[in-house]
Amino acid sequence: MPPTTFLAATTDKNLELVLRVLPAIVVILAASAVCGRLALWVKQPRVLGEMVAGVLLGPTLFGALLPDAQRAVFPPEAKPVLYVLSTIGLTLFMFLVGAGLDHGGGNGRKDTRNAAVLAVSGIVPSLLLGAACGYLLHDRLSRPDVTPFEFALFVGGALSITAFPMLARILYERGLENSRLGRMTLLGASVDDAAAWCFLAVLSAMHTGAGALHALRTIGLTAVFVLVMLTVVSRLLRPAGARVERTGRFGFDQMYVVVGVVLLAGWFTDYIGIYSVFGGFVAGLAMPRNPAFRQALHSRMMDIVCVLLLPIFFAFSGLNTELGGIAGWGMAGAFLLILAAGFTGKYVGCALAMRGTGFSWRESWAVGGLMNARGLMILIFINIGLAQGMITKEVFSMLVLVAVLTTAGAVPLYRWALPEHLERRMSPTAQPVADSASPAEAGRVHA
């Protein structure tokens, strides 16, 4: 019996949904594998290929060339399932990043201070330059019901984002997550993204008329959440870490607790208006620091998260990305202005700040290149803005291209600043760009 006939005849709606979702996941995995391999071939991180695969599966290519096939592979009823899986995947990945981050190493207070300087330098220059562009281009690009102030702040906020998940994947693929530069960059980028979501909460409150109290409530609850996770929850989990360290066994009981904590943290941050990726990361920071505990987490979870769940996140975002909004040369000047503002603010701002804290020029430019990656975090940011009517489809498309171009330039700029022989001196775990190691090998915590 042909599949379409069977689907039409079945009365089991759950089975029908499964038969629609599973082919979509298979297509996503195939596209991610191919594009990821192509990315490695051109000396880019695999994650950039997965991001491009997600965009290509959407209306930009697949939907434009074969619209009927695209609708058949990704029917409307399958998209909510893909969204849930993508959110779980991203939250779990950022949990593993937080759990694997050796924030007890290095110089402690000095590393924290440098990360704070990096975070400020990653936000303020891009925010100011982006806001200036938004103010200048308001009459040309903005919706009439959005004030110049709101539009300027939205463009500046979007350009101030660093792609925290993508940056983490780049560092993990290169084995740099626990180097001095890697730890500081991850901490600085995490602050950047948390500030961006708080900033978006303020903008949403302004645009929808919810008021300043709503935004202050979100920021206050975020601070309380971080405090509780890093004090109360962290202390409650310490016996589990000691038990794993003592016995060498990480059983199902511990896994139930860990996954439950991560999902609850992601749910709470989503509920208060901060994206669940932040909740997952903070939950990871709250995990026991025992090397055996961290290694067990990564060996059990990293492969399935990176191979199955993260590509679904990229694909779901790509299904909502339409690059047809830029038509003709009339928009080219505005796009180049926004691109220049975003690139200069992150790259130059972060590099100068790092040089001022005592890093070498090579390390400083390397950090500037990494922090300039925006990835799909900016797509999440601007999708919210588009849904709430803060930007037009043309501005949305411009910012999508900014995300792709700045992310594609991150690793080449990093490699230009830190060739492989210098990188290996900085961290003995550093991996070549084209390394085909598995995600678990790339993400393994080195005690």
- Residue 263 pLDDT exceeds 80: yes
Report which of residues 47 and 150 the model is more confident about. Answer: 150
Report which of residues 187 and 286 the model is more confident about. Answer: 286
Average pLDDT over residues 233-249: 87
Q: Which residue is listed with tokens 């678990």?
A: 440
CATH number of the domain within which 53 lies: 1.20.1530.20
Report which of residues 71 and 182 the model is more confident about. Answer: 71
Average pLDDT over residues 261-286: 86
Decide if 15 is inside a domain: no
Low-confidence winner among 36-40, 239-243, 392-396, 436-440 (lowest mean pLDDT): 436-440
Non-local CB neighbours of 211 within 8 Å, separated by 6+ positions: 205
Average pLDDT over residues 196-209: 70
Rounded CA-CA distance 264/282 in Å is 12
Average pLDDT, the chain: 80
**Closest to 241 measured CA to CA, from 278, 291, 280, 170:** 291
Q: Which domain holds residue 194?
A: 21-443
Q: What is the pLDDT of residue 434?
A: 41
Decide if 3 is inside a domain: no
Rounded CA-CA distance 164/186 in Å is 7
Decide if 36 is inside a domain: yes
State the pLDDT confidence band at 209, using cuts at 50, 70 and 90.
Answer: low
Decide if 328 is inside a domain: yes
State the pLDDT confidence band at 433, using cuts at 50, 70 and 90.
Answer: very low
Average pLDDT over residues 303-308: 86
Decide if 12 is inside a domain: no
Decide if 8 is inside a domain: no
Q: What is the pLDDT of residue 227?
A: 93
323 DSSP assignment: G
Report which of residues 39 and 1 the model is more confident about. Answer: 39
Question: 100 with 443: CB under 8 angstroms?
Answer: yes
State the pLDDT confidence band at 110, using cuts at 50, 70 and 90.
Answer: low
State the pLDDT confidence band at 216, using cuts at 50, 70 and 90.
Answer: confident
- Residue 327 pLDDT exceeds 60: no
What's the farthest any 2 CA atoms get from each other in the chain?
69
DSSP assignment of 139-189 equals HHHS-TTS-HHHHHHHHHHHHT---HHHHHHHHHHTT-TTSHHHHHHHHHH
Using DSSP, state whether 320 is helix, strand or coil: coil
Average pLDDT over residues 281-300: 87
Q: What is the pLDDT of residue 232?
A: 94
Domain count across the chain: 1
- Residue 103 pLDDT exceeds 80: no
- Residue 345 pLDDT exceeds 70: yes
Task: Provide the token pair at 315.
Answer: 């694909």
Q: What is the pLDDT of residue 424?
A: 67
pTM exceeds 0.85 for this model: no
Q: Which residue is listed with tokens 């991610």?
A: 32
Q: What is the pLDDT of residue 447?
A: 27
Average pLDDT over residues 70-89: 90
Average pLDDT over residues 388-413: 84
Rounded CA-CA distance 103/101 in Å is 6
Residue type, 393: K
Low-confidence winner among 47-56, 259-268, 328-337, 394-403 (lowest mean pLDDT): 328-337
Share of the chain above pLDDT 90, in %: 19
Average pLDDT over residues 21-31: 94
Non-local CB neighbours of 162 within 8 Å, separated by 6+ positions: 122, 188, 189, 192, 193, 346, 371, 372, 373, 374, 377
Decide if 260 is inside a domain: yes
Q: Is 330 exposed, middle or buried (0-12, 13-18, 19+ CB in 10 A)?
A: exposed
Using DSSP, state whether 196 is helix, strand or coil: helix
Average pLDDT over residues 227-239: 93
Decide if 2 is inside a domain: no
State the pLDDT confidence band at 374, using cuts at 50, 70 and 90.
Answer: confident
